[in-house]
Structure 1
């Protein structure tokens, strides 16, 4: 996406129309007013666009903390399918989930701020359940493909649920420790997937 530099009448800042800038400014408002106290109209005014324009980027305020989630899931599928079929399926899932959770240290909003909002904001929990389901399906599809099973079978579905639980466990510990590294946390947590898949398959 590109940024427009056309200045609206009566405003000193340029119109901004990038996902990244919308998220950055939205998180500034969330920090100042709280998530519940910030409206899409507030974000639109801060960004310098109309509310209807903002809704074309994000269907709801709840979608903003998740960023361009559809694109991240495409990336996740690619990480999984790029794993060598020589390595066991549990190792492939492990490696892909770890790689999926590598983020630039200078990202804005920071990954820590983003995940703290997603995991610890009551108003977001129902929406997050939908996002978690989409993430689990990516793993279930891959495990089913590797094992020649139905994606709706118990093992692919369980692999998705277990992987999500392990990743969320890593994030909870990471958020509680400002010195922790999320990649290390996910690496340690996902290591237990090996025993689960080996015992179940």
Structure 2
């Protein structure tokens, strides 16, 4: 993975007991990943830089890969809540678009860290094996919403297709955002979700001239 100039990592004085958090561990780890590379950074490196023991690290994350994904299960639970809150009179694809856009809306102050996270997730081969399970959970949340609104079984073609299509749209928007640092993530997500809602008609796909 291409990285920018090395990021200095603040290391606490040896022997000082540190209080930490998920966010602090991620901050320290991302700094090390930028400095040394993901594959070259060990859990021991992260624990030492954070001023905690190796065993304490595992109180927060089961692995280095889990740290990069963050508290993903909590995030998927939030997506479910956003979908469940959609008024029943809002069309399914409109409700889905609004929920996915809200789910991917971040305060500008955290966007640099989020960009680092997503660049790792989408580009580091060692993280790709984890993506199957994580992506399945995300797509399943969408499928459950569609099944509830349509009466189809959750493992039926329609809910599964919408879930996988929405996932592909979100990932494509993220890749575009990573390639173009001047782009707006929320706008890209909204446009990607709008396009899948149109059914990819010629009119929808043709750029304004």
Deviation at 1:17, TM superposition (A): 2.0
CA distance in 2, matches of 1:108, 1:45: 26
State the shift of 1:15 in Å.
0.7
Q: Distance in 2 between matches of 1:107 and 1:9?
A: 27
Counterpart pick for 1:152 among 128, 151, 155: 155
CA distance in 2, matches of 1:108, 1:89: 29
What is the rounded CA distance, in whole Å, between the counterparts of 2:168 and 2:111 in structure 1? Answer: 26
- Deviation digits for residues 145-187 of structure 1 (CA, Å, limit 9, x no counterpart): 0111211111101111000101111111111111001000001
* Unmatched runs of 5 consecutive residues or more in structure 2: 1-11, 201-209
- The reply on whether 1:11 has 2:15 as its aligned counterpart is yes
* Aligned-pair CA distance for 1:193: 2.2
Distance 1:24 1:135, change over 3 A: same
- Counterpart-to-counterpart distance in 2, 1:104 and 1:160: 26
Summarize deviations over 1:36-66 as a string: whole Å, max 9, x none: 0011111111111111111121111101111
Residue of structure 1 equivalent to 2:47: 44
- Does the aligned pair in 2 maintain the 1:25–1:46 contact within 8 Å? yes
Structure-2 change in CA distance of 1:155 and 1:175 (3 Å): same
Determine if contact 1:83/1:92 at 8 Å carries over to the other structure.
Answer: yes
- Alpha-carbon RMSD across the aligned residues, in angstroms, is 1.8
CA contact 1:139–1:159 (8 Å) conserved in 2: yes
The question of 1:111 aligning with 2:114 is answered yes
Corresponding residue to 1:162 among 156, 161, 165: 165
Matches within 5 A, 1:1-201: 10-11=14-15, 14-107=17-110, 110-196=113-199
Structure 1 distance, partners of 2:74, 2:88, is 24
Distance 2:189 2:140 in 1: 19
Deviation at 1:109, TM superposition (A): 6.1
Instruction: Report how far residue 113 of structure 1 moved.
Output: 1.0
Size of the aligned set, in residue pairs, is 189
Which stretches of structure 1, 4 residues or more, deviate above 2 A after TM superposition?
8-12
TM-score normalized by the length of structure 2: 0.86
Asked if the contact 2:14–2:51 (Cα under 8 Å) also holds between the matched residues in 1, the reply is: no
